[in-house]
Amino acid sequence: MPAICKIITVFAFMLLLDRMKMHLGLVLVLAGVALNLWAGIALPDAISNLYASAQSPDLWFLMIIMALVLEIGRFMTSDGNAEEMLNAARRWGGRHGGVASVIALPAILGLIPMPAGALLSAPFVDEAGNKIKATPEWKAAVNYWFRHIWEYWWPLYPGVLIGMSLFTIPMWKFILTQCTFTLAALTAGYFFLVRPNAKALSEVPHIDEGTYGRALLIFSPLVIVILSFFLMPQVVRSILPGISETSERNISSIFGLLIGLLVVLADRYRRMKKGEQLSHKIFSSLVEKKAISLQFSIAGVMIFKEMLAHSGLLPVASGELAGSGIPLTLVVMTLPFMAGMVTGITVGFAGTSFPLVVGLMQAQPDLLPPLATLVLAYSVGYMGIILSPVHLCLIVTRDYFKSSIRLIFKALTACVITIIIYSMAMHYILLFFKV
């Protein structure tokens, strides 16, 4: 059986087991083992690969990151802090403050290239959605979609850097072209997700309580995290030369989150000294059922990612597509989309499919000019990530809002189709001008 059919079959069983309410972390581990066995790897070797995957430093870095994210998220959304942030967003948005609150907060937090970063904005969207009695699927879709409007061009994301380096397109031209997808995503998200509830959101009572100063203090841990992405990688590199880029980003994230946690502790101390009764003890959220389930799901994603790499099926599947005789435009769309669906991360689809796409582009420069090829490959691959059942942000969003992947995808269908149509239009316009 072709490698691509094996991957699709395993994914179908993953979705089936998920719908049967098996824990997603366990589903992903079983899927990883199944891919190894189906790739012809002996059972003892597959178990050895599983053991090695569980020992991955990136997995444990991510677990630490998630523990810190959960605690900072608890700080930002408990003891009146979420209401303070939402009130600030509503004041900033004026008569459109309700709409601004559900769009701006996940979008702003989306500037932080952090694994499972949608978990940070989920409580704010939840609070805003509860005021209009929104469904879990709507809240999950809004949080997930607007979190991901920047990754087409925001240079802090590693997938963007891979795209820039492999396509050898000047940075200004890359950003100028790709940032139009952010506008398209914003527009699609507003019309298909937010606009149906815009009237209800605008009718939420406007509250003038609170101050921008308090809102900025609550938001400051995230500002610190953003700064750490700019300032810390060089420091980490000098202390630990030869470290991988992924570990470098993870350590930088942990450092920023620890500094942010100091802000949390200082604010807790100040409020307790004033006699305020706070709702929870530090790190108490980590032993809650939701947090434990979330950590297990994330561990499953990372193990699946490593097991997929051990199987060697993805490069084989990509090669099968590239040599299948399918029209070039369809191959340029299919390779990244498939890689995005399978890996669930931008680095995954860019790193595995872009070398093949660039190879096709260089072999057929008249049919696949660089910019025209980029907009199609990147955006369709990114939609593959959005629809990937192993995308960390989707998993944490689904778990947080207690929704289903199927209903979230149903809510996002029109948005995804819009981006694909826009990418095809851009492709053919740029193709006409041979750029």
**Quick one: pLDDT band at residue 95, thresholds 50, 70, 90?**
low
Closest listed residue to residue 131, CA positions, set 207, 71, 211, 59: 207
CA torsion sign for 270, 276, 278, 281 is positive
C-alpha distances (whole Å) from 403 to each of 19, 138, 318, 394, 397 are 11, 9, 33, 10, 8
**Quick one: pLDDT band at residue 140, thresholds 50, 70, 90?**
very high
pLDDT for 51-86, tens place per residue? Answer: 999 988 878 887 888 788 777 777 776 666 766 766
Q: Which residues, other chains included, contact 181 with Cβ-Cβ below 8 Å and sequence gap of 6+?
A: 152, 153, 375, 379, 419, 422, 423
Q: Which residue has the higher pLDDT, 119 or 148?
A: 148
pLDDT at residue 244, as a whole number: 78
pLDDT, average across residues 40-45: 92
The C-alpha atoms of residue 191 and residue 3 are separated, in whole angstroms, by: 39
Closest listed residue to residue 7, CA positions, set 304, 296, 302, 300: 304
Answer yes or no: is pLDDT of 420 > 80: yes
* Helices assigned H by DSSP within 212-286: 212-239, 245-273
Counting Cβ atoms within 10 Å, is residue 304 exposed (0-12), middle (13-18) or buried (19+)?
A: buried
pLDDT at residue 115, as a whole number: 67
pLDDT for 202-225, tens place per residue? Answer: 777 655 555 677 778 887 887 887
Quickly list DSSP for 160-176.
HHHHHHHHT--HHHHHH
pLDDT at residue 168, as a whole number: 75
The identity of residue 137, as a single letter, is E
* Degrees, nearest 5: CA angle 340-144-120: 115
Closest listed residue to residue 27, CA positions, set 347, 400, 405, 312: 405
Pair 63, 253: CB distance under 8 Å: no
Pair 382, 338: CB distance under 8 Å: no
The C-alpha atoms of residue 96 and residue 199 are separated, in whole angstroms, by: 10
Assign residue 168 a region: left if phi > 0, alpha if psi is -120 to 50, beta otherwise? left
The identity of residue 85, as a single letter, is M
Structure token digits, residue 213: 């100063």
Q: Which residues, other chains included, contact 277 with Cβ-Cβ below 8 Å and sequence gap of 6+?
A: none
Per the prediction, the chain carries an average pLDDT of: 83
The C-alpha atoms of residue 72 and residue 188 are separated, in whole angstroms, by: 31
Neighbouring C-beta atoms of residue 418, cutoff 10 Å: 17
The C-alpha atoms of residue 11 and residue 26 are separated, in whole angstroms, by: 14
pLDDT at residue 369, as a whole number: 93
Q: Give the position of tokens 């947080």.
A: 400
Share above pLDDT 70 across residues of the chain, in percent, rounded to a whole number: 90
C-alpha distances (whole Å) from 91 to each of 111, 129, 134, 209, 424 are 22, 17, 22, 10, 39
Pair 379, 181: CB distance under 8 Å: yes
Q: Residue 53, CB half-sphere, CA atoms under 13 Å: how many?
A: 26
pLDDT for 255-305, tens place per residue? Answer: 888 998 898 888 888 877 877 777 667 777 677 777 787 778 778 877 887
The C-alpha atoms of residue 228 and residue 29 are separated, in whole angstroms, by: 32
Strand ranges in 114-164 using DSSP code E only, listed in sequence order: none
pLDDT at residue 414, as a whole number: 97
pTM for the full predicted model:
0.73
* Helices assigned H by DSSP within 364-404: 370-386, 392-401
pLDDT for 173-184, tens place per residue? Answer: 898 999 999 999
Q: Give the position of tokens 């066995």.
A: 37
